[in-house]
Every structure is written in structure tokens, then in C-alpha cells.
Structure 1
Amino acid sequence: MRSIAAVLAAVFCLAAVGSARAQVSGDVVRIGVINDMSGLYSDLGGEGSVEAARLAIEDFGPTVLGKKIELVSADHQNKPDVASGIVRRWIDENGVDMIADGGNSATALAIQGITRDKKRIFVISGPGSSDLTGKQCSPYGFHFTYSTYAEASAVTKAMLKQGADTWFFLTADYAFGHALERDASSFITVAGSKVVGSVRHPLGASDLSSFLLQAQNSKAKVIALANAGGDTVNSLKQAAEFGIGKSANQSIVALLMLITDVHSLGLQAAQGIIYATSFSWTQNEATRAFGHRFMARRHGQAPTMIQAGVYSGVMHYLKAVQAAGTDDADAVAVAMRKLPVNDFMTQNAGIREDGQVMRSMYLVQAKSPSESRGPWDYETVIATISPDEAWRPLAEGGCPLVQQKAR
């Protein structure tokens, strides 16, 4: 009887495995990484995000539910229409199950709409607009790495403590820049300080001198850069040429900065700049181990928080597919919200109804050249920001999913 019971148990187990395998569409799980691979944001995500996804697949797999995991990638050139065309083709013709990264906020908002309609998981890492978990949230969209709200909160609060009571914004003229200025302005006004003006520049503008001079002439105590990547680096380099931000009466801050931006500036120019991040590769043993693995694949370049976030998102997605026993987006989305996010950069982070990953953020300061102990040793963590403080309160985002639940 025991022998018969054992045989029956084995049969049932095999049947369960067979059932799970049958739930994988197209007999393969396909992941698509899309971002800017040739423009001003290519260092932040780019091919590095593809490599991070590849590392996650290698660490998890190379299979899930007994099926092969495939990775595809594309450059959307920072154009929402190009991104939309690629993602539609991936889903309709190539059977892609999950989209990762997204690049910038304008392209991400377009992708979010498509993945919502087509019922595909979207793991967002590069795009920062807090609207992605606000009025444009999706049951299939997950904001993994940072947001304009979290960045603005950390940096503005640090400056407000130093008495920064007048602000002027130099803002990239598209969805991300608008959201970053909006979110930062809310913290400034709530604190009783004042936004005296703003100016918007085109994405990827090479000459920012006229915009910077307007900011300087505003006499604001803080000139806040609501841009990213190459735009931030160019803003800081050109500001230095004009001596902007060097006086005791006026400083310049970057509301979003990544380690690749520090590298582009050089520590001599970047030293002392304070910014917020969800990942610093030298922070602990686990982050250093990932950093060295990544650098070995990427010609010595350290991972950004965006690239680390892609790894985190792809790994969590695969764990959710495994737990759900299917790659069906509805079942996987439920599993992603149920499972805690755990990896080298994340410890037991939950995912809210609006898709926000509730991870800690870190306030870091760029080191001086004498403080650096080796290549890409650029950051010192000066404060840890708890998830409850870092992320926008759930009730304030305007996410329809949350409103529906409240009803």
C-alpha cells in the first residue's frame, strides 16, 4: 500500500508540474528590455540594463516552470511613438510576456498604456514620473527603482534644513522634468519656502547657457536641476563655467543624479554634491559583489540604480511566475504583490496596490578625490530614508486602482 501511495503521489506531482508547464504561453517566457541605448540616457540604463536582466535570468534560471527564458532588447531613441511600435510588435507578433526598464517617463507612459490594454507586466526602472503609480497607474505596472516624488522629497528636505527658502527650476521639457519640478515644488511650498520661477529646456539641449543665466538672475538661493543624465551633466559643467552656484548666496542642486553622472563630471567637479538613490554599489558586501560582476561584463563601468533595479525587477517577476505556476499576467501581478522583494539591493520590500515597490532610499554625497579608494568609489551614504518617508502616501497619488479598492 505504501508503494502504491508513493506511486500515486509521484503521478500527482508530475501532473501538477505538467499543468504548470502548460500555462506558459508559447512554451517560452520572453522578457523585453527597452530604453535609450544610443542617446543621452544610454549610460543610465542602455545596454547595461540588458546585461542586468541577463544576469538575473542566469541567476534564476535559465528556465522557469521548465520552460526557456528568452531576452530581447530594443532602443526606442527616447521617442514615445517608436517605443509604442516596438512594444506592440513584441506583444502581438513575438509573444513577449514582460517589458522591463522603459527608459524615460514619456516613453514609459506610452508603454504603460499598451501593457495595460494588452495585459502584460511592465517593470519600470529608468522612468521616474510619479504619475506611473498615480493617475496613470496600471494593475500590470510596477515602479521598481525610484520616483520623482522620492528624489524630490530627499533632496529638497535636505536643502530646506539648510535654510533654502527661495528656489528656481531648470527643467527638462517633458513628462519626467515636469513631474520632478511639480513634486519638488510641493515640498518647498509646504515648508513655507517659495518657488520664484522656472525655465524649461529641450531634451538633449547642448547649449544651456541662456537658461542658466535666467536662473542666476532670479537671485534664488537654490537653482534646482529637474533633468537627468546628459542634461544634468551639461547643466553642471556649464554652470561651473559661469561660476553659477559658487557664491555663498546661491547654490545649484541636482534633483536626480546617478553614479555615471558623477563619473562624467569627475570627482574634482562633483565632490560634495548631495543626491538620492535607491542603490549604491559600494554600500555592503552584497552590493559590492553585484557591482564587481556587472563591471566584469560592462568594461569596468559600475551599475547605476536603474540597472540594479532592472535586475531586481526581472528576478522578482520570474519568482512570481514560478509561484503563480503560469505566465498569465493577472496571476503574475497578484503574485508579485504578494511576494516580498528580496535581492542584493532590497530587503523584504512590499509592493503596494498602485505598483510602487516600497524600498529604502539613500541620501549620498559625492566623495572628494582624496576620499575615493578606487575606480568608481564615488559615493558615501549619509542617510537612510525609510520607505514610509521616501514614497508618496498611497491615498495621495490618485491611482484609480486604490480608489476602486476604497469603494
Structure 2
Amino acid sequence: MNVGIDRINFYTPEFYLDLKDLAEARSVDPNKYLLGLMQKQMSVAPADQDSVTLAANAAKRVVDGIDKDDVGLIIFATESSIDQSKSGSLYLQELLKLSNSARSFEIKEACYGGTAALMSACDYVRTHPNKKALITASDIARYGLNTPGEVTQGAGAVAMIISKDPNIAAISQDNEVYSEQIMDFWRPNYQKNAIANGHYSQEKYLEFFKTVFEEYINKNKSDFAALLFHVPYSKLAYKAFKIACEKIDPSTREMLKKRFDLSIDLNQKVGNIYTASIYLSLISLIIQDPSLKKGDKLGLFSYGSGAVGDFFSIELTDRFKKSIDKKTIVEQIKRRKKLSIQEYEQFFKEQTEIEAKEISIEQKTNLKDFRFLGIKKDQRQYSH
């Protein structure tokens, strides 16, 4: 029985910052961002969007048209949690009007959380073949104004329906995993913004990739149609891609490089979205490469600081081209409003100042989208 991604969708806020503008404001050569990091823009979340609303807006399209009673599992993957105890998935369950008979919980391991959710959902469907699982990977990457990590921020979410006989891709059970307790990136409970040991984290990302990729190709065929990576910023993913090229058939490198470039296109415009980054790359590749075909094997490297590295493969099924709403995804990138530096910094400050027990949030987002309305008596309020 094949189990995997039956539906997938992406959502990002309606605002973005051009990294040329950020470079100028921070007195940095723009090429440091555009070439050194291979990034162009980053989505910016207004105060009326949080990890729950980003996930809900991504998920509403993938649950539309299915029998919601069939969804027996809801997993919310994030490192931008809105509560220390309660799961964001329970808000999703309510907003999307999903069955109250579903298991519903949140999962966390830095940027690896989305893949942890995917693997857990596949295991669930294999033992409950008549059920489906909804998983969301949703994050707002924050490092602070005028910090080294500022340029690698972003905001967005990917939602997936996991089922048997999937329309998009079957998930292979060929994972190679390596985990180790390291301090490359973390966010203590008393902080809004993450702490990143940048150069060390980059070294560990590449080290973990090399470890799991070499173990994988020692046991499996390296007949990849494409290689996809977690993308904190595109240049780091490219460094991992070059390591992979040293281990695979040279005749495939040109094809793989073209597809790698397509896979990072959306990430270059949206920025780092933590748990969802690798699945945004999957969407980016599928909607832009008409040469992909049924049976193509894609290799994926997922990484979460702290740290876990996981390399696995998926196989495209016969309906993958018709099962992603390319038009909607492309249009939501185009419709974003460009922010000035002053507007961006104001958005950032408004996000960090949501501490009050009683607060009403000004609407910034389109009326059709789910929004965070504010807090009443310590309880978060959302539009339905």
C-alpha cells in the first residue's frame, strides 16, 4: 500500500521586504544577500497573522471537498508556538470544522518538525488505511532588527493531506537519520527571538547532510530525478547540493542543478519558514518543471537544529501535476505588497509586543483569510 502526500498547499502573508532595501538600510553590499546568501525577498507577517492563522489559511484548500470525518489525525508542526501547553492543532480543528473524533496535537523539533509530522502521519495511515491525516508546518522566522540573522527571516505555512494511494507522492520508508544534542540554534522560553550560532549551525547542517546522504547511497540506488533540501537560506542548501554531486553519477548533475534552481525559487522570495521550508521547495519544483513525470524519485534532506538530520525519498504518482493549485500559489506571491523599511520595522515591533492579557489587533490581512483578532482574558481570538 502506497502512503504519502495526497494534497498540498502553501500560504504566505500579503507583505514582503525586498532584500536590496534591507541591505541599503543596514549599510551592507546588496550582493552579500543576493549572491552570498542567494536570497531576494522575505515575507513579513503583520500582527493579525500567527502560526495558527498561517496554517489555517494553507489548510483550508486541502480540506475543501474531502469528507472531514475521514481526517482522523491533525498534527501542527511549528517552532513558533502560540501556547506553552495547548496545541495549535486544536484551533485548526475548530477553524476548519474538522471532526472532533480526530487525534490532535503539536510537534516540535526546530525545522525538522514538518518532517516529523509527515513520518508520524504516514505511520498512522498505514495502520488506519481508511483514514486521512492533516499536517501543517507553519512558522514565522524571527531574529530581531539589525541582527546577523535578520536577512534570513520569513513567514509562511505548508499544509498536506496524507492518505493511502496519494495523488502527489508516495513516501518511501528508506530514511537515514542522525540526531545529536548540539547548541547551534535555540529559543529559550523567556525570549521572543531565536539565538543562533550561525557558522556552527551551517557546519552542522552540512555535516549531518553528508552523514545521512552517504549512509543512504551505501544502501540504496542514487537514481534521483531531483534533490531537495531544507532552506534556511538558499546558499546553504546549494552547498549541500554540491556535496551530493560528489557522490552521484556525473551525467545527472546538469539535470539536477536545473531542478535545484527551480526548487529554491519560492524560498528565495518567501525567506526562511523553518518547518515548512523543504516542502515549499517541493511545491516550487513541481509547479515549475513540466518535465517531471510519474515514477520520478526525489531525494529530500530535512534538518532541524539541536539537531536532527533525515534523508529520505519520495516517488511522484500519476496525478501530481493536477493536484497542486499552481495558479493560486503563483498569484499569492505576486499580490504581496512591498513594505518600506519603516513599515517592516513597525510590523516587526507590533509582532513582538503582543504580551497583554487584553489586546485587540488591527486588521491588516484580507477579509477572506483567517486572522488573529487579539486576546481576551488570556484567550486568543480568531476569525472564523
TM category, shorter: 0.3 to 0.5
Larger relative contact order, structure 1 or 2 (CA cutoff 8 Å, min sep 6): 2
TM-score of the superposed pair, with normalisation by structure 2: 0.34
Larger-gyration structure (1/2):
1
